[in-house]
């Protein structure tokens, strides 16, 4: 009996230790994500809010100059300056400081000047909570500086290595301020807020008398009264002690936001919530119970410092092949799993394929839609990224073959995508390139732009007509988007660039074998898309069959169309994963997978994305869309994590269709969400926001948004560079 009891006690302790470890890991991951993603955004918001109030104050003083002079002379005079000089100085500091804060340029000098100005106003003019919060936030930027979404962050490294006088010393000073000053400042800020809450709690029992004016001058008592007495008491004690400060700040933000929305949001409350946001993201500072507890926990849980929480030796090996949407989603979800993860791809970047057509039509550059893989996993100690092309899989030895290299696995995830399918007519490929890789997009761009250049150079009318005839095979989303983008490029992007012909005379033909374009969309959406294409001048040929493609053009239903540029958007075939595994496949080469996306007979091998044939969409095949691949990748990661923890098997994969989108030029798109269908400008705006959200990396989102905005306002054609190939050859 005692042995059984002891065994049960040991087992309970082990289970408790596992749960404690998971709790610590969840805590570390939550605030790592907050620092990585939440703080840059909060930093921008705070700087914008501060700049807005400074702009407003400066402009009011400029438009009411007599009031500005009165304030400078009587309310907050500067003894060594005349009222006019003081007024000019105050307005200049506010407007210039607002501009610098908004840009994140010279943030520390601007914050110092504004801090001095606010303290003068608070002590010599009307004491306001707003000015107190401004002073605290300016002090933060003086000590910590702006984050990575600022010009200071962009220019800092180059500035330190420059030949400017004192550049290295100033760089060292700012680093010292941030590293040493930030923890101290956080402690002071926490005590300041905790002290304000404590005074509010004690005020009913203690009449401060003459001290009330002093306390109101330096503590935001009016604004901090927004919480209930119980909330204020608990929060005051926790903040003053520095115990669970992050969670206390989050709770205060949540309850304060709810109260503010019910009673009306004031500027003071916005500043208070922003100040609490700093504590929620950055913590309690050096002098706190949290800091002491963290130093103790770090010895057992090094992941709190971002270091490996466990050794990778002897852990299960998960190999993910392919860094597309599915593979990247799977590898990302496994970053904190107790496994050694290897991500293999034949490129060093993740490519956002839905926007490849914009690279092909000179609207975007390749760097706008591709992100290097390694930086994504820079902080993932259990993930190794390998550059190489998989040539086969040894199922018996559980190995992935990458050239001459062998990568062993315990769990294998194949997310190897698909390639062009010419339906057995591979001889057409040199004359009709498809669109799956960056190299494909730049080749298509070369052919398109070269066709226009050669049309300008020739005097032969027939040759010019052939050069200016562009034929797209396939009326799915890629074909429709390509046709619309080429029509826009010809009619709006280059209308004034050529002298010997009008680019708007270019003939764009879309050939579709099905009875309508976008056959996977609702019939009404297809009709809207066709009308939008025809308004752009695209000739839409539905129910038409391509019989031959060669250097001279295309034969469609027995009729020859002379076209020097033919593009293929008609079909795809899966990667050779089925051949590697010896698994069953459909006519497009997709591996037939089980409900949990594993390969029948190979329970440790999963296939996702375009490579898999899964009937998880209400009994239908899951479509080859980016959201489907991402859902599959996330599902497989959860299934592997469950198996690593010896938990119950995951429920079968269910694909949740969020909708389909396709764009046809500016202001025209279709969006089919089942019950909700949009077309025209609303669908176009939705298409843009959705695609920006799916891009990997803030830099890509910002660059793409700027390029789109510029092209939309100016009708500019974007990146019209002819690269690759031999520029002396013909367009075809």
Residue 377 scores a pLDDT above 60: yes
Q: Where in the chain is the domain with CATH 3.50.50.100?
A: 427-569+666-714
* Helix residue ranges, H only, 322-383: 325-333, 356-360, 373-376
Q: Are 480 and 509 in contact (CB under 8 A)?
A: no
Burial of residue 726 (CB within 10 Å: 0-12, 13-18, 19+) is exposed
Closest among 387, 281, 383 to 338, alpha carbons compared: 383
Q: How far is CA 524 from the centre of its chain?
A: 33
Mean pLDDT for the stretch of residues 452-460? 94
Give me the residue label for tokens 């469950």.
642
Give the pLDDT band of residue 729 (cuts 50, 70, 90). very low
Alpha carbon distance 233, 200 (integer Å): 9
Alpha carbon distance 549, 567 (integer Å): 10
Alpha carbon distance 244, 290 (integer Å): 6
Alpha carbon distance 467, 730 (integer Å): 9
Q: Are 177 and 112 in contact (CB under 8 A)?
A: no
Overall size of the chain counted in residues: 732
Dihedral pair phi/psi, residue 380, rounded to 5°: -100, 95
Catalytic residue, candidates 94, 121, 481, 488 = 481
Q: DSSP of 541-561, one letter per residue?
A: E-S--EEEEETTEEEETTEEE
Task: Tell me if residue 439 is catalytic.
Answer: no
Residue 457 scores a pLDDT above 50: yes
Give the pLDDT band of residue 731 (cuts 50, 70, 90). very low
Q: What is the pLDDT of residue 83?
A: 58
Which tens digits make up the pLDDT trace of 82-132? 556 655 666 788 888 889 998 888 899 999 999 988 888 788 777 788 889
Q: What is the pLDDT of residue 669?
A: 81
Highest mean pLDDT among 175-179, 606-610, 684-688: 606-610
C-alpha distances (whole Å) from 502 to each of 442, 452, 471, 484, 553 are 24, 10, 19, 18, 22
Q: Where in the chain is the domain with CATH 3.50.50.60?
A: 317-346+388-421+574-658
Q: What is the pLDDT of residue 352?
A: 85
Alpha carbon distance 91, 83 (integer Å): 12
Which tens digits make up the pLDDT trace of 422-449? 988 999 999 999 999 999 999 999 999 9
Which tens digits make up the pLDDT trace of 27-66? 777 877 788 878 888 999 999 999 988 887 777 766 776 6
C-alpha distances (whole Å) from 37 to each of 30, 51, 157, 719 are 11, 22, 22, 30
Which tens digits make up the pLDDT trace of 120-155? 878 877 778 888 999 999 999 999 999 888 888 878
What is the SS3 string spanning 37-80? HHHHHHHHHHHHHHHHHHHHHHHHHHHCHHHHHHHHHHHCCCCC
Residue 636 scores a pLDDT above 50: yes
What is the SS3 string spanning 638-667? HHHHHHHCCCCCCCCCCCCCCCEEEECCCC
CATH superfamily label, 317-346+388-421+574-658: FAD/NAD(P)-binding domain (3.50.50.60)
Q: What is the DSSP letter of 81?
A: S
Residue 573 scores a pLDDT above 80: yes
Q: DSSP of 590-603, one letter per residue?
A: PEE--TTSEETTEE
Dihedral pair phi/psi, residue 472, rounded to 5°: -110, 125
**What average pLDDT is seen over the chain?**
84
Alpha carbon distance 87, 73 (integer Å): 9
Dihedral pair phi/psi, residue 402, rounded to 5°: -120, 90
383 versus 368: which is more confidently predicted? 383
Give the pLDDT band of residue 727 (cuts 50, 70, 90). very low
93 versus 418: which is more confidently predicted? 418
Which CATH number is 427-569+666-714's, of 3.30.1370.60, 3.10.20.30, 3.40.630.10, 3.50.50.100? 3.50.50.100
């Amino acid at each position: 009996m005692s042995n059984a009891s002891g065994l049960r006690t040991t087992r309970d302790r082990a289970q408790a230790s596992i749960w404690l470890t998971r709790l610590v890991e969840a805590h570390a991951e939550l605030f790592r994500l907050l620092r990585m993603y939440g703080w840059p955004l909060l930093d921008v918001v705070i700087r914008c809010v501060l700049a807005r109030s400074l702009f407003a104050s400066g402009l009011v003083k400029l438009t009411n100059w007599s009031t500005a002079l009165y304030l400078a002379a009587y309310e907050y005079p500067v003894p060594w300056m005349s009222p006019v000089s003081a007024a000019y100085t105050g307005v200049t500091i506010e407007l210039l400081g607002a501009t610098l804060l908004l840009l994140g340029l010279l943030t520390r000098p601007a914050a110092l000047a504004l801090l001095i100005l606010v303290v003068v106003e608070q002590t010599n003019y009307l004491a306001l909570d707003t000015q107190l919060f401004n002073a605290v936030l300016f002090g933060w930027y003086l000590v910590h500086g702006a984050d990575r979404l600022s010009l200071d962050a962009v220019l800092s490294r180059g500035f330190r290595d420059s030949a400017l006088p004192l550049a290295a010393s100033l760089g060292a000073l700012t680093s010292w301020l941030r590293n040493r000053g930030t923890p101290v400042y956080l402690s002071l800020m926490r005590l300041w807020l905790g002290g304000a809450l404590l005074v509010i709690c004690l005020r009913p029992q203690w009449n401060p008398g003459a001290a009330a004016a002093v306390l109101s001058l330096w503590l935001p008592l009016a604004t901090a009264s927004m919480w209930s007495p119980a909330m204020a008491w608990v929060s005051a004690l926790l903040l003053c002690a520095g115990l669970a400060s992050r969670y206390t700040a989050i709770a205060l933000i949540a309850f304060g936001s709810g109260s503010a929305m019910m009673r009306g949001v004031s500027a003071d409350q916005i500043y208070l919530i922003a100040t609490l946001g700093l504590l929620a993201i950055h913590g309690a500072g050096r002098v706190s119970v949290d800091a002491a507890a963290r130093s103790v926990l770090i010895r057992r849980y090094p992941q709190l410092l971002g270091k490996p929480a466990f050794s990778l030796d002897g852990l299960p090996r998960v190999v993910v092949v392919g860094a597309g949407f599915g593979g990247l989603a799977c590898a990302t979800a496994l970053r904190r799993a107790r496994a050694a993860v290897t991500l293999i791809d034949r490129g060093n970047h993740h490519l956002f394929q839905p926007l490849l057509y914009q690279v092909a039509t000179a609207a975007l550059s390749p760097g706008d839609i591709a992100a290097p893989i390694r930086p994504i996993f820079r902080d993932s100690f259990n993930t190794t990224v390998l550059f190489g092309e998989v040539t086969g899989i040894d199922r018996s030895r559980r190995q992935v073959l990458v050239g001459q290299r062998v990568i062993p696995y315990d769990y294998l995830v194949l997310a190897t995508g698909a390639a062009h399918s010419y339906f057995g007519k591979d001889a057409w490929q040199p004359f009709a390139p498809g669109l799956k890789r960056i190299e494909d997009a730049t080749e298509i761009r070369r052919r398109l732009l070269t066709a226009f250049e050669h049309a300008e150079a020739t005097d032969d009318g027939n040759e010019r007509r052939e050069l200016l005839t562009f034929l797209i095979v396939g009326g799915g989303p890629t074909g429709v988007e390509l046709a619309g983008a080429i029509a826009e490029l010809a009619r709006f992007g280059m209308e004034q660039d050529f002298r010997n012909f009008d680019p708007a005379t270019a003939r764009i033909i879309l050939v579709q074998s099905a009875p309508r374009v976008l056959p996977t969309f609702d019939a009404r959406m297809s009709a809207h898309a066709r009308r939008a294409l025809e308004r752009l001048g695209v000739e839409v040929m539905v129910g038409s069959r391509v019989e031959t493609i060669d250097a001279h053009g295309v034969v469609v239903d027995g009729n020859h169309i002379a076209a020097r540029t033919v593009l293929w958007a008609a079909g795809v075939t899966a990667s050779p994963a089925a051949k590697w595994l010896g698994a069953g496949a459909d006519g497009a080469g997709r591996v037939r997978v089980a409900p949990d996306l594993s390969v029948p007979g190979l329970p440790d091998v999963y296939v996702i994305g375009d490579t898999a044939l899964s009937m998880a969409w209400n009994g239908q095949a899951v479509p080859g869309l980016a959201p489907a691949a991402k859902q599959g990748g996330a599902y497989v990661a959860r299934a592997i994590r469950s198996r690593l923890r010896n938990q119950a098997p995951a429920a079968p994969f269910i694909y949740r269709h969020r909708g389909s989108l396709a764009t046809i030029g500016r202001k025209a798109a279709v969006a089919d969400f089942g019950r909700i269908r949009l077309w025209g400008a609303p669908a176009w705006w939705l298409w843009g926001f959705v695609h920006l959200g799916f891009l990997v990396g803030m830099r890509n989102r910002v660059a793409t948004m700027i390029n789109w905005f510029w092209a939309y306002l100016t009708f500019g054609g974007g990146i019209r560079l002819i690269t690759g190939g031999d520029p002396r050859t013909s367009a075809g």
